[in-house]
A and B are shown apart, each in its own frame.
Chain A
Amino acid sequence: MRRRFVKHRLAVCGGLVVVAFYLAAAFADFLAYSDPGKLDAQRILVPPQRVSLWSAGRFSPHVYRLVRTRNPETLVLDYSADRSVEIPVVLFAHGYPYRLFGLFPTDIHWIGTRGEPTESSLFLLGSDALGRDLFSRLVVGTRTSLTIGLVGVCISLVLGVILGAVSGFYGGIVDLVIQRVIEMLRAIPTLPLWLGLAAAIPPTWSVTSVYFTITLIVSFVGWTELARELRGRIMSLRHEDFVLAAELCGARPRRIMFVHMIPACTSHIIATATLALPTMISSETALSFLGLGLRSPAISLGVLLNGAQNIQAVALYPWLISPALPTAVIVLAFNLMGDGLRDAADPYA
């Protein structure tokens, strides 16, 4: 299977991108140089900044100090660079404190400014309407969006595998009930379902409870496809002689399913999971974009895009739309990788 996957160039590229994204998610706080929650009224809607690499013929990366002016005619805030003040940008600078992997307390970030606080001087991708650095928010938001997909896929994987296996193994009335439930779930249009369920979440809940509820909602709808596929595979395995042999030596159904049947579908399950992840990610993004999923102060790609929902953002502050790019890239990368995995696992499908 590995050899067939490696032959699939596009899938390998997708895989590398996915790995890169998850690495970024793991080191999100390290990559985010500014505190993503730090408000700054003086730094509202700063456009993306350039980092100049050379200063007087010497290599010395720096940014210029921002000067804020208000346009007297349009009353729009303008930022200009004060070329006389160079703020040096250094690697592995000290910034806001955090815990790496939630374990090791540290305050090292990959870059930062010296002399002035990073939060008010460095804006690689600009800042949002509350003066928070967009790049840092993007990195942290990516982590949220990627992990919400992961947890969701795990839950729906377990549900799909168990219900699919049971349905295919026992057949008869059990199969009938499970399949009708799947049909009912699939018949429900997902968007209105999410709208309804999301509206049912009390607004007083904390960010984390909302996060988990959203994950649960997404995964309880997401297991049906895998259950269907697995049911078919189990039904065909049911007629294999080695399954009969296990039955004849008195093995119970649970053992037969977990020792003989489900392992035979592993590659298929992995492929399905990688194809389900982007769906989960995009559903979270879509929900939050509509303001029904995660809400501020939680940070996710959907929450960030929610802030770019108006015509002003598109016309005047186009950098606010930048979270759309990683969303599209990660979903595409996952789909390419999943397709490759599926082709490798199941060349005849």
Chain B
Amino acid sequence: MPADVILRVRGLTKHFGVARDGEAASADILRAVDDVSFSVRRAKTLALVGESGCGKTTAVRCIVRAMPPTSGNVWFRTTAGGVVDLAALNEAGLRPLRAEIQMVFQDPYSSLNPRLSVLDIIAEPLVVSGVRNRTVIRDRVANLLELVGLRPDHMARYPNAFSGGERQRIGIARALALHPRLVIADEAVSALDVSVRAQILNLLLELQDRYHISYLLVSHDLGIVKHISDQVGVMYVGQMVESADCQAIYRRPLHPYTAALLAAVPIPDPRRRRAAYAAPGEAASPRNPPPGCTFHPRCQHAIPRCKLERPQWAELEPGRFVRCHRAHELQLRGIEA
């Protein structure tokens, strides 16, 4: 594991048993996450992008061990410098590492306990980690609130007194309370108004600069990802189909699915014509994925081989991984960075 990599995921897989009437649960398997690999570098941002249902959230929940992965490794570099496999630890082994990986949630309403004051919400990680002194806690919470752009004297209020954007700031303050080194943001801005989104994204960037936090962002919107991520991984039906540096992927996508996602990004220019290409049809079901390349039924460039043979995850150019038989010959349109 290279020294600047903080999180390396290899072959992460999560299968759910789906019980059908009258059949054993093991008879039918839902491959929510299937052989996903990526790395997050220190103080950098990796974005996982894909349609809803493609397994992004399941993947990050396996990484934070909200659920155990079926197989795969999740190597994490701890503050002490050692590397541990989060996927192999039990609950007790995980607890000391909890402080280093924190999460910001999608829904600013369900992620804050409505019965606790802002002080109690942000203080919880501190209390759990053993800080008992009330004044110390109050000072720290006041600091955190200032850091995320809220007024410290609001700490006695309850979440219902805040707007969605403010609540998301509270969520971020809670995530920062224990000085995490990796913050996972699962659709952290998709529930917010467009104007508030930019503020929250800027806040995240500012915090990254200040504290050298690494981010793993999950989003369905390539437009948002473009501004704040260093690397992008595109997922489709549980699999990673392409990953590369942010600039590269926007300029010249290698996978037809990435190109389709890029074509769907709205361009704020009335004179420009939207590219006509988009993937027709619905995303395949992870319960019953099509044979060969999972994307072939929706792909304009599919050839007979795509229906039969499953493409491998391969490094086509340095730092550019793609899962497509025709990646080397296709000339796909991106959007100018």
Could you tell me which A residues sit within 8 Å of B by CB distance?
240-242, 244-252, 255, 259-260, 263-264
Contacts and interface: CB of A to CB of B under 8 A. Distances in A.
B128 interface: yes
30 contacts: A240-B110, A241-B105, A241-B106, A242-B110, A242-B111, A242-B113, A244-B66, A244-B103, A244-B105, A245-B103, A245-B111, A245-B174, A248-B66, A248-B102, A248-B103, A249-B99, A249-B102, A249-B124, A249-B177, A250-B96, A250-B98, A250-B99, A250-B125, A250-B128, A250-B129, A251-B124, A251-B128, A259-B116, A260-B116, A264-B113
A250 B65 CA distance: 11
A249 B111 contact: no
A252 B129 CA distance: 11
Nearest to B184: A248
Contact of B129 (A245, A248, A249): A249
Given A242-B111, A264-B115, 11 more contacts: A240-B110, A241-B105, A245-B105, A245-B174, A248-B102, A249-B99, A249-B129, A250-B95, A250-B96, A250-B125, A255-B128
Given A244-B66, A244-B103, A249 B113 contact: no
Contacts, number: 57
Contacts of B116: 259-260
Q: Which 5 A-B pairs have the closest CB atoms?
A: A249-B125, A250-B98, A241-B111, A241-B105, A242-B113
A250 B180 CA distance: 13
A260 B127 CA distance: 14
Given A241-B105, A244-B66, A249 B112 contact: no
A256 to B, nearest CB: 10
Contacts of A252: 128
Nearest to B98: A250
Contacts of B113: 242, 259-260, 264
A245 to B, nearest CB: 6
A302 B106 CA distance: 58
A244 B66 CA distance: 7
B178 interface: yes
Nearest to B186: A241
Contacts of A263: 115
A342 B116 CA distance: 23
A242 B111 CA distance: 4
Contacts of B95: 250
A130 B144 CA distance: 75
Contact of A242 (B64, B112, B129): B112
A250 B125 CA distance: 7
B107 interface: yes
B160 to A, nearest CB: 13
A171 to B, nearest CB: 13
B101 interface: yes
Nearest to A243: B113
A243 to B, nearest CB: 8
A248 to B, nearest CB: 5
Interface in B112-155: 112-113, 115-116, 124-125, 128-129
Interface string B55-94: 0000000001010000000000000000000000000000
A262 to B, nearest CB: 10
A255 B129 CA distance: 12
Contacts of B124: 245-246, 249, 251, 259
A51 B178 CA distance: 76
A248 B124 CA distance: 11
A79 B177 CA distance: 83
A223 B103 CA distance: 38
A248 B125 CA distance: 9
B110 A248 contact: no
Query: Which of A242, A259, A260 has most B Cβ within 10 Å?
Result: A242
Contacts of A249: 98-99, 102, 124-125, 128-129, 174, 177-178
